[in-house]
Amino acid sequence: MESIDLMVLRTAHDWLAGGERALLATVARTWGSSPRPVGSMMALREDGRVVGSVSGGCIEDDLIHRYTRAYGASGLPESLPQVVRYGVSAEEAHRFGLPCGGTLELILEFNPSHTALAHLLARLDSGGLARRTLDLASGTASLAHTSTPEQFSFDGRQMISTLGPGYRMLLIGAGALAEYVATMALFNGFRVTVCDPRPEYMSGWNVAGVEQRVGMPDDVVRAFAPDLRSCILALSHDPKLDDLALLEALHGPAFYVGAIGSRRNSRQRRERLIEHFGETEASLARLHGPVGIYIGSKTPAEIAVSVMAEILAVKNNVQVPVGLSVSDAKQAREPKVLAG
């Protein structure tokens, strides 16, 4: 399953290339509470079909009523991009189902160039980042290659969004936990690859839609070519497989590198990497382990929820509060030894 942004862009391109008329809506600015973050997109076809979301649903319904023939409207105009705002008053916010005090500003692009969207998709499908700049006065959308993700911005004249390929996950070890993590990653829009040199593990893999690679994990990490939208998770419990893969991953740009294991195993892993491979506490600062957010999980399915929650928090630049990491929480729950 690809990311929702790619799905919206690809669907809009396909509609337009097929001769359909379509609208591309982007959340440009928000005030107060909002259902969707800035940069969120939806595509609306003239017959009322919608892909993506800019709100909880009510604003989508209003756009359908305004711009499609489904409810007797004249259809999508041939127009320069427009800025529309929802939820300015408490009454309007209530009518459109926005949270209390929420205001949402959208940029509407009417029938954008399918050729320009094709160029954008080609860049994203090749694994690169692209900076798309929309000039509202002319309606022109320009595309530039970039190597650094940037924050979405809109100054009233130009909308600048950095779009990238879908997020990727590489799992080391094809056991039961990996299957649960892979399932959760897939429905969160990650492209998932699993690696395990042990044929007895790979032959039993049961999750569809996951790329399988047989080989030594450190070689697979290099071939995987991690980027800023990649995460690498070691789940084999075998130092011969996990350690070298983690070393490769830690010296790359992946946004998350982690390994399963108890606090004792995690401590021993760090000691091995420092003693035998020349790592330092500073170079291991990016290594998550034990992985996950503490929820008292015991089963593979529950542990996968814990791990995926931490990965998504890091992806979304959310700092996990002190005390919620597995290590901190378990340490806090240890019985205190009284002196004397």
Task: Calculate the CA dihedral of residues 27, 29, 34, 40 and round it to 10 degrees.
Answer: 20
Residues 268, 273, 274, 280, CA torsion sign: negative
Residue-level pLDDT at 90? 59
Q: Where are the beta strands (DSSP E) in 221-332?
A: 230-234, 256-259, 287-288
Residue-level pLDDT at 92? 60
Q: How many CA atoms lie within 13 A of 251 on its CB side?
A: 13
Per-residue pLDDT of the chain (340 residues; tens, 9 = 90+): 567 888 999 999 999 999 999 999 999 998 766 667 889 999 999 999 999 998 867 788 889 888 887 666 777 888 899 999 987 555 665 565 555 557 889 999 999 999 999 999 998 888 788 999 999 999 999 999 887 777 899 999 999 999 887 789 999 999 999 999 999 999 888 999 999 999 888 988 999 999 999 889 999 999 998 888 899 999 988 888 888 999 999 999 999 999 998 888 889 999 999 988 888 898 898 999 889 988 888 899 999 999 999 999 999 888 877 666 666 666 666 665 444 4
Residue-level pLDDT at 340? 45
pTM above 0.85, yes or no: no
List the beta bridge partners of residue 168: 191, 230
Radius of gyration of the chain from Cα atoms? 23
Enter the tokens of residue 90.
Answer: 């408490």
Question: From CA 112, how far away is CA 24, in angstroms rounded?
Answer: 7
Q: Tell me the DSSP string of 1-13.
A: ---HHHHHHHHHH
Measured in whole angstroms, the distance separating CA 199 from the mean position of its chain's CA atoms is 31
Residue-level pLDDT at 51? 94
Which of 123, 15, 9, 22 has the alpha carbon at shortest distance from 63? 22
Q: Which long-range contacts (CB under 8 A, 24 or more apart) does 311-316 make?
A: 311/169, 311/185, 311/231, 311/233, 311/256, 311/258, 312/188, 314/231, 314/255, 314/256, 314/288, 315/167, 315/231, 315/255, 315/256
Count CB neighbours of 144 within 10 A: 12
Decide: 269 and 275 in contact? Cβ < 8 Å.
no
Residues of the chain with CATH 3.40.50.720: 168-330
Q: Does domain 168-330 have CATH number 1.20.120.420?
A: no
Residue-level pLDDT at 65? 87
Question: From CA 57, how far away is CA 63, in angstroms rounded?
Answer: 10
Residues 49, 53, 58, 60, CA torsion sign: negative
